[in-house]
Amino acid sequence: MNETSAQPEAPKSTSQKDTAYRRVLLKISGEALMGDMGFGLHPPTVQRIAREVKSVHDLGVEISMVIGGGNIFRGLQGSAQGMERTTADYMGMLATVMNALAMQAALEAEGVYTRVISAIPMDQVCEPYIRRRAVRHLEKGRVVIFAAGTGNPYFTTDTAATLRANEMSCQAIFKGTKVDGVYDKDPKKFADAKRYDRVSYDEVLQKHLGVMDASAIALARDNKLPIIVFSLDEPGGFVGILRGEGTYTEVHA
């Protein structure tokens, strides 16, 4: 796909001024696409997440996405089982491309124009990463799905998400999880777990709160990029936060 594609332009909403952010990046794990399955893709779950993204896109917010590949293959686990780490990580990157294509199909079924952009060139299925082209897609109202991480082994999709968010001049990273924010301990195991409304980057690192890996947090901190952690399982949660509602944790400077 290229800039001369016959696909029509995406309509731009005029309600952008009603939202807290103009341009954001949504980071979700590959496991988020599994639903109740133990492995792979659960199409109804992919469609539900696509509808959440569409509801935000309809507000006029420019959205990019990074999706992990852990539902298909996780490089670190492959390495732990004796596979050479670089090979395992590249396999994990290819898994993220599969997830990105699945999300693209679900979004386009909802009438949202998209582009999948891969850090590893594979022109038959998606575009190569070119920063200016990716920015232009966002400006034209397309949802941009970044795949294949950074294109390098030893870097997680958390780091890729923070890198792409900075390159796209996003105003925040939205980290969709199964809980409604950052807790001092696992709320599913401990009834007395405390949820933070706001927490600093340094506190996340010092207390090992598990929002993202250390490299991603450090990169966000160095560029003063806020991270909004919210529940992806709560219907309307994504769009609610952009309207100043809902429950979430903000990781800030």
The most confident of 74-78, 152-156, 242-246, by mean pLDDT:
152-156
Q: What is the mean pLDDT of residues 112-120?
A: 98
Q: Is the separation of the CB atoms in 122 and 112 below 8 Å? A: no
Asked if residue 209 has pLDDT above 90, the reply is yes
Q: What is the mean pLDDT of residues 101-124?
A: 97
Give 29's pLDDT tier (boundaries 50, 70, 90): very high
DSSP H helical ranges for 84-236: 85-109, 131-139, 157-167, 201-206, 214-222
CA nearest neighbour of 26 among 62, 56, 64? 64
| CATH fold for domain 16-252 | Carbamate kinase (3.40.1160)
- Of residues 71 and 14, more confidently modeled: 71
pLDDT at 75: 66
Asked if residue 197 has pLDDT above 60, the reply is yes
pLDDT at 120: 97
The residue ranges of every structural domain in the chain are: 16-252
Q: What is the mean pLDDT of residues 98-126?
A: 97
Give 213's pLDDT tier (boundaries 50, 70, 90): very high
Asked if residue 2 has pLDDT above 50, the reply is no
Mean pLDDT of the chain: 91
Asked if residue 208 has pLDDT above 90, the reply is yes
Asked if residue 10 has pLDDT above 70, the reply is no
Spatial strand order in the sheet of 62-67:
127-128, 114-118, 143-147, 62-67, 23-28, 172-177, 227-231, 249-252, 198-200
Task: Kindly report, residue by residue over 36-93, the tens digit of the pLDDT.
Answer: 888 899 999 999 999 999 999 999 999 999 999 999 987 667 666 788 999 999 999 9
Residue 204: both structure tokens together: 């996340």
Name which of 77-86, 141-150, 207-216 the model is least confident about: 77-86
Q: What is the mean pLDDT of residues 120-138?
A: 97
Tell me the residue length of the chain: 253
pLDDT at 38: 81
Q: Is the separation of the CB atoms in 68 and 102 below 8 Å? A: no
pLDDT at 4: 40
Task: Kindly report, residue by residue over 216-241, the tens digit of the pLDDT.
Answer: 999 999 999 999 999 999 889 999 99
pTM above 0.75, yes or no: yes
Q: How many CA atoms lie within 13 A of 223 on its CB side?
A: 20
Asked if residue 9 has pLDDT above 90, the reply is no
